[in-house]
Structure 1
């Protein structure tokens, strides 16, 4: 393999005028020597496109800017951008996140040295409203991700346990298996689809990205997340139902969505307390089959 294969760094953005310059600056500042940048603006109504162009015009290598006349979902935008990419590999970045300078170099080095088809990595979470940076994973969470890579599909089919910022993948795989445009959690769905087909996933234990969390982030929209969760798991529901522990986790996740939605719809402290109690009861009915143990634990939790 060529020591410096061409990488297509794809940036998908919409109404990120406050953040896109940081994303683009991180893109043009990569230490890796051979890459192009494809930026797709999803019909932004602010200065996102202009701010991005101001930064990318400083890039000495090839870059391309696409501007939608109407807005689409993230998955469709990625699929559109993939058709414009020329790289052997693709690295995906949202317009409100950013990379460390060594992100591409570390990914290329890893995929050349390991028998894997796509890669995730460690990174940081940046909470915009609080101006606070934290690790993406706790030490325990990261250990579990790394130790379960060989069994990734099974470990993640009932719940997404990874952060998918900066996913690095062979372009030919995304051409053959495009992102599902009917799903909002398109990254989790793609991880499951590829690993279910036998493709190998790797994990770089280095912090290579910053994931910006906004009050408007998808992870805060419980109804949308529930809908997406059901669409993804429906594809593998027979597999999930065939495993008692997976099916339990699946049902617990549905209950989680149910009560998060109900809690988000009320401002009454009394109603919130009532819902929390009901949530607790439903959760323990699923987790513990023995009735004596169930009621003992329920009493302890009150």
Structure 2
């Protein structure tokens, strides 16, 4: 590749001392020839920063280390790191995930051959507590994403359907449209914000990342997820309400959060059973507007 563009590989990390070495080794082992590493430690209380610097200092690859003195949200941390980036493109990585060696090479090749502004890809999910690896998407899920890329915003505005590990984006877009620092699901929000403005998203049908799922992952915290979901969708609520199917999906998602929160707050099995029954009723009321059909289906369940 003649004069390959500079890529800034940004690693955002906090209390990842057990995992940061793997993330850094995957960053330092990229086959792509022209990139820098920017690691931002979000005021870790363990040895994350020291472990990362120990790994990165052993290799002849440009890197910058940023250490917060106080803790911020992921979105603000990314915005800070981007302000230190020199690359034409930015690739994002969490300190508990890791990348394949050809990750950057594949992303740069794709974005130079296709009229897109940012890229997602296929990958793996690794469940830490179970020591289990699975595909990030089922074949059906992946086909759906690829087939509907041309209307990505519409498909994802009521529910995030992508695993946003290793997001690769033109730096100029992150400067022009910084991450929303009031939202926890900042990656989903960015995807919607850029596609709503007409920027094009690409998807590489190759497994280029490993997404580590921990028992403490944000996706397990239902109250935070509900709050973030409402903040993101509120931006596009008029669009959602104007489409009957989207609005139905939106309502079902709110019901889902409501009952997951209630279930997480009780240890009583009888109360859990009651809540599941109520959940089922509310869900069917939204899904089936015909009262007769609704009660028939409810009886079958």
Q: Please state which band the TM-score falls in when normalised by the shorter chain.
A: over 0.9
Q: What secondary structure, in the 3-state scheme, does the structure 2 residue paired with 1:69 have?
A: coil
- Aligned position for 1:293: 293
- State how 1:39-54 maps to structure 2 within 5 Å: 39-54=39-54
Helix, strand or coil for the counterpart of 1:126? strand
Aligned equivalents of 1:231 and 1:148: distance in 2? Answer: 24
Q: Within 5 Å, which residues of 2 pair with 1:51-130?
A: 51-130=51-130
User: How far apart, in 1, do the equivalents of 2:59 and 2:14 lie?
Assistant: 21
Distance in 1 between residues matched to 2:137 and 2:59, nearest whole Å = 32
Q: How does 1:6-17 map to 2 (within 5 A)?
A: 6-17=6-17
The residue number in structure 1 matching 2:275 is 275
Distance 2:82 2:252 in 1: 36
The size of the alignment, in residue pairs, is: 301
Q: Does residue 1:223 correspond to 2:223, yes or no?
A: yes
Q: Report the Cα offset of residue 58 of structure 1.
A: 2.0
Unaligned runs of 5+ in 1: none
Structure 2 unaligned regions, length at least 5: none
CA apart distance, 1:4: 1.2
Query: Residues 29-61 of structure 1, C-alpha deviation per residue, up to 9 Å, x if partnerless?
Result: 000000000000000000000000011012312
**Aligned runs of 1:199-218 on 2, under 5 Å?**
199-218=199-218
Distance in 2, Cα, partners of 1:279 & 1:142:
29
TM-score (norm 2): 0.99
Alignment partner of 1:202: what SS?
A: strand
- In structure 2, what is the Cα distance between the partners aligned to 1:3 and 1:159? 39
Cα distance in 2 between the residues matched to 1:137 and 1:174: 27
SS of the residue 2:107 aligns to = helix
- Local SS of the residue matching 1:129: helix
The 1:217/1:30 distance shift into structure 2, 3 A limit, reads same
Q: 2:133 & 2:101 partners in 1: Cα distance?
A: 18
> Which runs of 4 or more aligned residues in structure 1 lie more than 6 Å from their structure 2 counterparts after TM superposition?
none
Deviation at 1:2, TM superposition (A): 5.6
SS for the counterpart of 1:134 is strand
Deviation at 1:21, TM superposition (A): 0.3
Deviation of residue 25 (structure 1)?
0.3
Cα distance in 2 between the residues matched to 1:214 and 1:267 = 22
More displaced 10-residue stretch of structure 1: 238-247 or 53-62: 53-62
Q: Deviations over 1:181-200 (max 9, x none)?
A: 00000000000000000000
Superposition TM-score, scaled by structure 1 size: 0.99
Q: Distance in 2 between matches of 1:145 and 1:38?
A: 30
**Counterpart for residue 247 of structure 1:** 247
Matches of 1:179 and 1:48, distance apart in 2? 24
Q: Distance in 2 between matches of 1:177 and 1:237?
A: 20
- The corresponding residue for 1:150 is 150
Work out the CA distance in 1 between the residues paired with 2:3 and 2:266.
57
| Structure-1 separation of matches of 2:255 and 2:105 | 42
Between stretches 278-287 and 55-64, larger displacement belongs to: 55-64
